[in-house]
Amino acid sequence: MNARNKRQHAASPAKYVIAAIVAAIAGFGTVYWSLAPSDNASGPVSPPESPAEAASGGTGTAKIGPLAGLNKGAVAAFVAYSKPRDLPDFTFETADGTAKSLADFRGKVVLLNIWATWCVPCREEMPKLNALESELGGKDFQVAAVNIDRGGPDKARKFLNETSATDITLYTDPSGKLFSTLKTVGMPTTLLINRDGKEVGRLVGPADWASPEAKKLIEAAIAAPAPAG
C-alpha cells in the first residue's frame, strides 16, 4: 500500500464518523419538525379541506378575501382559510382563576397563541407578540396568549416578566385539554380568530409578530367586514 492509499485508509473512519454525526443531526431535525411546527417544514400546509374547498381545487388557503396574499415574509407560514371555520367549545382561565371562552371576546379579533415555558421558540416569540399587543391591542384586537404548563400560573407569570411581555394578559389552561381540543401539532401555535369567534387561519411554529407583514395581516383581519347577524 503506497503512502497516498495509507492516508486515505486512515482518514476513512473519521469520514464515517463525521457522516454519521451529520446524519444524526439531520434526523433530529426531521423528528423535531414533524412533531412540532410541521406546517413550516416546506411551506404552509393547512388542516384538512372541507369538501367544498376540495371541489373548488383550493388547498384550504385563501385566494380571495381580506387575508389573501398576506401570508408572506415573517408570516409566510400562516395558513389563511378560504372561509372561516368553526372552533370547538373550549375554555381557559385568567391568572386569578376566572374562566374565559371565545364568547368573552365576541366582536374583537383575537390572536390566540398557545405556548409553554419549556418551549424555546416561545421565549423568542413572546416579545414580538407583546409588541403587537402594545401597538394594535384595544377594543378591536387582542393577543390572547394561553399557557399550557401544569402547576399554576406563577411559572408562566415569571416567564412573561423575563421576556418583558408586560402588555400580555396571562391566561392559562389548567385542564390540559386545549392543545388537543384545537388539534395543535406544534409549539407554539397561533390561531387568528375573527370577530364572530371563527378561525380564519393559523400558524404552527414561531413568527415575528412585530414585523410589518404580521401587522398588515392583523390590520386586514380587523378591517374585514363584521359578520352578519
**pLDDT of the chain, 229 residues: tens digit per residue:** 554 444 444 444 444 334 333 333 333 332 223 343 333 333 333 344 443 333 333 344 556 678 989 999 999 999 999 899 999 999 999 999 999 999 999 999 999 999 999 999 999 999 999 999 999 999 999 999 999 998 889 999 999 999 999 999 999 998 889 999 999 989 999 999 999 999 999 999 999 999 999 999 999 999 998 655 4
Contacts of 7 (CB under 8 A, 6+ apart): none
User: Across the strands, what pairs with 61?
Assistant: 81
Query: What secondary structure does DSSP assign to 17-79, as a single string?
Result: HHHHHHHHHHHHHHHHHHHS-GGGSSS--PSPPPHHHHHTT--SB-SSSTTTT---GGGTT-E
Which single residue is written with the C-alpha cell 367549545? Answer: 89
Nearest to 194 by CA among 216, 220, 213, 174: 220
Rounded Cα gap, residues 191 and 185, in angstroms: 12
What is d(CA 79, CA 94) in angstroms, rounded to the nearest whole number?
28
For position 82, what pLDDT does the model report? 87
* Contact (Cβ atoms closer than 8 angstroms) between residue 211 and residue 139: no
Give the residue from 141, 74, 135 showing the smallest Cα distance to 112.
141
Containing H/E element for 153?
none
What CA–CA distance (Å, rounded) separates 8 from 5? 5
Q: For residue 186, what is the DSSP state?
A: S
Neighbour-count burial of 178, counting CB atoms closer than 10 A to its CB (0-12 exposed, 13-18 middle, 19+ buried) = buried
If residue 123 lies in a helix (H) or strand (E), which one and from where to where? helix 120-136
Q: Which of 211, 104, 227, 209 lies closest to 165, judged by CA?
A: 209
Q: Write down the pTM of the prediction.
A: 0.74
